[in-house]
Amino acid sequence: MSILERNHPSTGGTVWITPSNIYCPLDDEFNFVFDLACDEINCQCESGFYYPEFDALNLDWPLNGWLWLNPPYRPIRDWIQKAQEQAKRGCKIMMLMPAMGFGNKYFHKWLPTEIRFFVGRVKFEQVGKEELPNTRDSALFIFNGNKKTERPACSWIVQG
């Protein structure tokens, strides 16, 4: 069973939607053109790799414009490695993921150019259910194409 299958409602998984108070200001800043890990319920952009038709982990990602990625968190390693690989190709990627995922275990080969940590837990949306805070801290990992860095710029986002 693929990563997306394990996390899809049809197989007992849960589809989480990036809250609009997080996504909309970022979209205003970056003008995202493509959602890399979505389905018909949670796609944030006009275009995306829709599950089950497309498996983003096995495809080259678009090179035109900024790409949005809020991947399934289990296992996150595959998504980090794919983002690094695609950034080396020149993709510009904004990746929302657990802050604890930032460590030398995954990022020692290719660091994001910027990291934005959230102050407080992100409250992800789920269709028809009350928003609940994530059980982990979150951060945005920004890969600006093939620009390699040894020290990512870091900042904090205080949520309303």
User: What CATH number does residue 12 fall under?
Assistant: 3.40.50
The residue among 149 and 27 whose pLDDT is bigger is 27
Q: Which two tokens stand for residue 17?
A: 């939607």
Q: Which two tokens stand for residue 132?
A: 């609940």
Give the number of domains in the chain: 1
Q: Which two tokens stand for residue 52?
A: 């089950």
Structural domain of 82:
3-158
Predicted local confidence at residue 117, as pLDDT: 94
> pLDDT tens across 80-136, in order?
899 999 999 999 999 998 887 556 567 767 789 999 999 988 888 877 676 777 888
Confidence (pTM): 0.84
The residue among 142 and 126 whose pLDDT is bigger is 142
Predicted local confidence at residue 101, as pLDDT: 57
Predicted local confidence at residue 86, as pLDDT: 95
C-alpha distance across the termini of the chain, in Å: 38
Predicted local confidence at residue 10, as pLDDT: 42
Predicted local confidence at residue 149, as pLDDT: 82
> pLDDT tens across 6-33, in order?
444 344 456 678 888 899 999 999 999 9
SS (H, E, C) the chain: CCHHHHHCHHHCCCCCECCHHHHHHHHHHHCCCEEEEECCCCCCCCCEEECCCCCHHHCCCCCCCEEEECCCCCCHHHHHHHHHHHHHHCCEEEEEEEHHHCCHHHHCCCCCCEEEEEECCCEEEECCEEEEECCCCEEEEEEECCCCCCCCEEEEEECC
> pLDDT tens across 47-80, in order?
877 666 778 899 999 999 999 999 887 778 889 8
